[in-house]
Amino acid sequence: MINTLARIDYAASAGRTPWHAASALSKLALAALLVLLAVFAPSLSLLAALYALAWLLVLSSRLPWRLTLAAAGYPVAFTLLFIVGRWDGSAGTPLRLLLRPLTASLAAVWLVGTTPYPDLFAPLSRVLPRSVGDGLFLTYRALFALIGRAERLWRALRLRGGASGPPRRRLMVAGEGFATLVLYGFERSQRLYATMLLRGHSGRICGCRHYAEWSRADLLVILAGLAAVAAAAFLWRAP
């Protein structure tokens, strides 16, 4: 998981496609449009068109295909359980239930894979409450360190025999490891906040790039949005 997130973060900063050059604001709007249409689309044809459009966005952004499949395939397991519970014997119902989260996850992968995280959270911090926006910004970066710490802790436990023995002993070791992670996260947050105060934190974390600076690349984002709207207009009542 940490490797997948790290590779997505690297692809967002190192990519050189027109999607990477477009503003974060326009890409957020396009991703939100795709997710909303995928959630409320009643037509299987429309869902298939949106799914194809999402794949076109991902492939044209030159994201590694293995990385894309790994990141976009996370909701499949949970969706399959929901399909089993809602299946009415027809082929259309499971396809609809499967295409909705897959389209939304592909749109999310395209968004975070082409937008550096400061640009991604900067417009959100203008809409959300200050504490929520800043918290999301800091949590995204802290997630890498915390998951990495958890993987190193689990590796150390296995090397020292912590994953063997009776269930009671393993449960006790797991609880101690979880407590260590909690204390580590608390201590790290205190150090981070103290560092921010020393560097002049004034209560607002802003993106370090021009997230709303428009360029020619945004025309492609607009065209993709128009394609999604046109598909919704023509295929909304289709089978």
Q: What percent of the chain has pLDDT over 70?
A: 76
Q: Are residues 183 and 217 in the same domain?
A: no
Read off the pLDDT of each residue in 100-110 and give the average, rounded to a whole number.
Answer: 89
Q: Are residues 157 and 96 in the same domain?
A: no
Residue 205 lies in a domain: no
Q: What is the pTM of this model?
A: 0.71
Q: Are residues 42 and 84 in the same domain?
A: yes
Q: Are residues 74 and 186 in the same domain?
A: no
Q: Are residues 165 and 227 in the same domain?
A: no
- Band of pLDDT at residue 163, cut at 50, 70 and 90: low
In terms of residue numbers, what domain contains 222?
2-116+210-235
pLDDT tens readout for residues 107-128: 988 998 898 877 777 777 677 7
Q: Are residues 92 and 29 in the same domain?
A: yes
CB 36 within 8 A of CB 87: no
Q: Are residues 192 and 162 in the same domain?
A: yes
**What total of structural domains would you count in the chain?**
2
Burial letters for 93-111: b for 16+ Cβ neighbours within 10 Å, e otherwise? ebebbbbbbbbbbbbbbbb
Read off the pLDDT of each residue in 41-60 and give the average, rounded to a whole number.
Answer: 92
Residue 165 lies in a domain: yes
pLDDT tens readout for residues 71-96: 677 777 777 777 776 666 677 778 88
Tell me the CA end-to-end span of the chain in Å, nearest whole number: 38
Distance separating alpha carbons of residues 24 and 212, to the nearest angstrom: 6
Q: 52 pLDDT exceeds 70?
A: yes
pLDDT tens readout for residues 123-147: 776 777 766 666 666 666 666 677 7
Q: Are residues 7 and 99 in the same domain?
A: yes
Residue 203 lies in a domain: no
Q: Are residues 136 and 185 in the same domain?
A: yes
The pLDDT of residue 173: 76
The pLDDT of residue 68: 81
Q: Are residues 150 and 81 in the same domain?
A: no
Helices 92-114 and 117-127: crossing angle in degrees, nearest 10, is 110
Residue 183 lies in a domain: yes
